[in-house]
């Protein structure tokens, strides 16, 4: 057989996933690694952790589990995100590294910390399940928050567009037939709307509202000083506190189960927040850590003495009440799950109220508009009838 024929066969697409070579001699192209680091999303990470955890729990080595997953992913396409990630992991494993090192470019630091803790304590499968659980918890809360905001924002947009169209286009056209200063009754509503949206102050107020929203979003992770504790009771800060608290607490509980000392966990969580540029979370973690150093060995008591109400006052009360139980460290995960589910239910309840209020406001506006048009038509007909 000629060298050309052998080269051609070596480049041919494998007939089955099992034919894909797992002898990885390089980590892959840097472009694909960079793209995979941006597009290796939470759902994909969660699925990978769960698929790896089961065989590892059954006694399969992590390297063999990675090889099997890589063969299936690369069989579809070597440039697919999961294939790129697994190729990099295999390269690191083949060169004496660990799973957490291979995943480092692609996953958040808290997930890497969980997996590394599992590797160090011989509980990798548990750590992988915990990493997947952390993602699931954050997804639950994030989905509830998105649901709470989506419909009111949509209805608010519809209301704004309707106001602008009526005030800037419909009402002025009707004013050409009958001057606005002659409009009476419900028709005055249309004149008022027109006066609002055509005024320079409408643009000023609109710009101001946009500025406040922008500053609020930018300050979510940056503001940690005076006033933040009060602001944490109001949206959007209250929603952000819940979202950050869910991830923080599930990561803490998982690292505690992995055998990490409380002081070490708090130091690593503070470093994680600093790494992500989250001054708010770093500040909350630092204050809890200070109270821990001053003698509050129990995490619930440390949270209470920190006086930040982070992540939640009711959760802190539960942690303090159960701090004397012998299996307290194990119960933290149970309390965390219960709090997250309770929080999701609360956010969904808030969403229902906000949706109902937005619908009522929109219905009142539409009703007033319809009555205004009817009244104005009657006035126009009456004025024309007088000629």
| Interval 215-258: pLDDT, tens | 999 999 999 988 999 999 888 898 889 888 888 888 888 888 87
Q: Is residue 228 domain-shared with residue 321, that is, in the same domain? A: yes
Q: What is the DSSP string of 249-283?
A: HHHHHHHHHTT--HHHHHHHHHHHHHHTT-HHHHH
Query: In this structure, how many other beta carbons lie within 10 angstroms of the beta carbon of residue 67?
Result: 20
Least confident of 219-223, 266-270, 277-281, 297-301: 297-301
Q: Which of 3-17, 70-84, 291-305 has the lowest mean pLDDT?
A: 3-17
Of 107, 142, 173, which one is at a domain's C-terminal end?
Answer: 107
Region 331-335: mean pLDDT is 84
Domain count, the chain: 2
Please tell me whether residues 128 and 94 are part of one structural domain.
Answer: no
pLDDT at 142 over 80: yes
Evaluate if residue 204 carries a pLDDT over 60. yes
> Is residue 35 a part of any domain in this protein?
yes
Same domain, 262 and 325: yes
Considering the domain boundaries, does residue 37 fall inside one? yes
Which runs of consecutive H residues, i.e. helices, occur in the chain?
Answer: 3-11, 30-39, 42-57, 62-76, 81-94, 99-103, 109-120, 124-165, 171-175, 187-197, 200-219, 228-231, 237-257, 262-275, 279-293, 299-306, 313-321, 328-385
Cα dihedral across residues 353, 354, 360, 364: positive or negative: positive
CA distance 99 to 115: 8
For residue 100, give the 3-state DSSP assignment: helix
Same-domain pairing of 89 and 127: no
Asked whether the whole model's pTM tops 0.85, one would answer no
Residue 114 lies in a domain: no
* 252, 358: one domain: yes
Whether 39 and 132 map to the same domain: the answer is no
113 in a structural domain: no
* pLDDT 10s digits, 285-325: 999 999 999 988 888 899 999 999 999 999 999 888 887 77
DSSP state of 73: H
DSSP state of 121: T
196 and 268 housed in the same domain? yes
| Residues 93 and 233 reside in one and the same domain | no
Q: What is the pLDDT of residue 381?
A: 85
CA angle 39, 41, 47 (to 5 degrees): 130
Question: Is residue 116 a part of any domain in this protein?
Answer: no
User: Domain for residue 325, yes or no?
Assistant: yes
Cβ pair 34, 55 in contact under 8 A? no
- How far is it, in rounded angstroms, from Cα 235 to Cα 346? 13
Question: What pLDDT, on the 0 to 100 scale, is given for residue 10?
Answer: 46
pLDDT at 46: 94
Token readout for 275 is 């790494």
Q: Is residue 1 part of a domain?
A: no
CB 275 within 8 A of CB 260: no
Closest CA to 340 of 380, 305, 311, 374: 311
Q: Are residues 90 and 222 in the same domain?
A: no
Q: Which of 49, 75, 107 is the last residue of a domain?
A: 107
pLDDT the model gives residue 356: 87
Which residue among 51, 74, 107 closes a domain?
107
Mean of per-residue pLDDT scores for the chain: 86
The token pair at 270 is: 């503070």
329 or 150, higher pLDDT: 150
The reply to whether 84 and 150 lie within a common domain is no
| Alpha-carbon dihedral sign for residues 114, 120, 122, 124 | positive
77 and 133 both lie in a single domain: no
pLDDT digits (tens, 9 = 90+) for 110-119: 888 889 888 8
Is 50 contained in some domain?
yes
The pLDDT assigned to 4 comes to: 46
Pick the more confident residue, 283 or 73: 283
Is the domain of 155 the same as that of 191? yes
Q: Kindly state the average pLDDT of the residues 207-221.
A: 91
Domain span at residue 55 reads: 17-107
- 3-state class (DSSP) for residue 177: coil
- The dihedrals phi and psi of 177, each to the nearest 5 degrees, come to -90, -45
């Amino acid at each position: 057989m000629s060298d050309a024929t052998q080269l051609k066969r070596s480049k041919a697409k494998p007939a089955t996933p099992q034919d894909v070579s797992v002898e990885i001699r390089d980590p892959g192209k840097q472009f694909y690694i960079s793209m995979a680091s941006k597009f290796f999303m939470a759902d994909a990470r969660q699925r990978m952790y769960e698929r790896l955890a089961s065989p590892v729990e059954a006694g399969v080595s992590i390297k063999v589990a990675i090889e099997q997953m890589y063969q299936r992913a690369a069989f579809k396409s070597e440039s697919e995100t999961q294939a790129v990630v697994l190729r990099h992991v295999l390269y690191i494993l083949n060169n004496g590294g660990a799973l957490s090192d291979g995943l480092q470019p692609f996953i958040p630091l808290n997930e890497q910390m969980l997996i590394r803790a599992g590797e160090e304590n011989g509980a990798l499968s548990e750590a992988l399940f915990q990493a997947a659980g952390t993602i699931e918890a954050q997804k639950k809360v994030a989905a509830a928050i998105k649901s709470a905001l989506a419909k009111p924002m949509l209805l608010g947009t519809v209301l704004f567009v309707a106001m602008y169209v009526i005030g800037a286009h419909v009402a002025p056209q009707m004013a050409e037939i009958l001057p606005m200063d002659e409009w009476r009754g419900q028709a005055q509503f249309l004149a008022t709307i027109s006066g609002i949206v055509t005024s320079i102050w409408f643009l000023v107020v609109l710009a101001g509202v946009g500025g406040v929203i922008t500053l609020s979003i930018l300050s979510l992770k940056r503001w940690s000083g005076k006033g933040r504790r009060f602001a944490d009771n109001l949206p959007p800060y209250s929603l952000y506190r819940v979202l950050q608290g869910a991830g923080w607490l599930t990561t803490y509980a998982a690292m505690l189960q992995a055998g990490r000392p409380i002081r070490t966990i708090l130091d690593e969580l503070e470093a994680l927040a600093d790494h992500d540029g989250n001054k708010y979370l770093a500040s909350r973690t630092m204050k809890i850590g200070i109270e821990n150093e001053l003698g509050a060995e129990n995490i619930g008591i440390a949270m209470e003495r920190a006086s930040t109400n982070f992540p939640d006052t009711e959760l802190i009360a539960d942690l303090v009440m159960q701090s004397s139980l012998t299996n307290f460290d194990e119960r933290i995960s149970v309390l965390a799950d219960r709090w997250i589910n309770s929080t999701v239910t609360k956010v969904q309840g808030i969403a229902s109220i906000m949706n109902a209020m937005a619908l009522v406001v929109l219905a009142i506006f539409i009703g007033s508009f319809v009555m205004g048009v009817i009244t104005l038509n009657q006035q126009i007909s009456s004025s024309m009838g007088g000629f």
